[in-house]
């Protein structure tokens, strides 16, 4: 099987306590912590994708503030690579509710976590490049 590379957009969203929103996802028997976002659909603006994906996964309305860099991972299911362009975003409205995800993704819970706690903990991520990006830019 030929491996593919997918483009995704991700949101680093902070609350008024300077905590970052992380989603707990269960994929292939593993538990990962990730920031909201998803794969860019053909013909869709990456900015529209990010706003749509965050709304689908969390029910939050966001405003994109600025790009902070990229991170990447290889999917457990098929080995395809996903490159995540990541943005600082602020909440414009809504409350986090991961139970209304219309795409029925494997999101089980969410946590607001301080940057230092996330970096100095055993939170499992799909690739360490996420922790490096958070450490340097969030």
**Mean pLDDT for the stretch of residues 34-44:** 96
Instruction: Measure CA of the first residue to CA of the last residue in the chain; give whole Å.
Output: 36
Residue 104: per-residue pLDDT: 66
- At 115, is the secondary structure helix, strand, or coil? helix
Handedness of CA 128, 130, 131, 133 (dihedral sign): positive
**Mean pLDDT for the stretch of residues 98-117:** 86
Instruction: Give the rounded percent of residues in the chain with a pLDDT score beyond 70.
Output: 97
Whether residue 122 has pLDDT greater than 90: no
Whether residue 74 has pLDDT greater than 80: yes
Q: Residue 113: which pLDDT band, with cuts at 50, 70 and 90?
A: very high
Specify the CATH number for 5-132; select among 3.20.20.20, 3.40.190.10, 3.50.50.60, 3.90.79.10.
3.90.79.10
- The domain limits of the chain are 5-132
Tens-digit pLDDT profile for residues 52-67: 999 999 999 999 999 9
């Amino acid at each position: 099987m030929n491996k593919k590379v997918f483009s995704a957009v991700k949101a680093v969203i902070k609350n008024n306590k300077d905590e970052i929103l992380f989603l707990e996802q269960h994929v292939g028997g593993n538990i990962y912590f990730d920031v909201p976002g998803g794969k860019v659909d053909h013909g869709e603006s990456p900015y529209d994708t990010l706003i749509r994906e965050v709304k689908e996964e969390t029910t939050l309305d966001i405003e994109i503030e600025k790009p902070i860099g990229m991170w990447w991972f290889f999917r457990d299911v098929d080995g395809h690579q996903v490159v995540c362009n990541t943005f600082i975003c602020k909440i414009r409205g809504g409350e986090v509710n991961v139970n209304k995800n219309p795409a029925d993704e494997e999101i089980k819970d969410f946590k607001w976590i301080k940057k230092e706690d996330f970096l100095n903990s055993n939170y499992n991520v799909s690739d360490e490049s996420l922790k490096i990006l958070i450490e340097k830019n969030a």
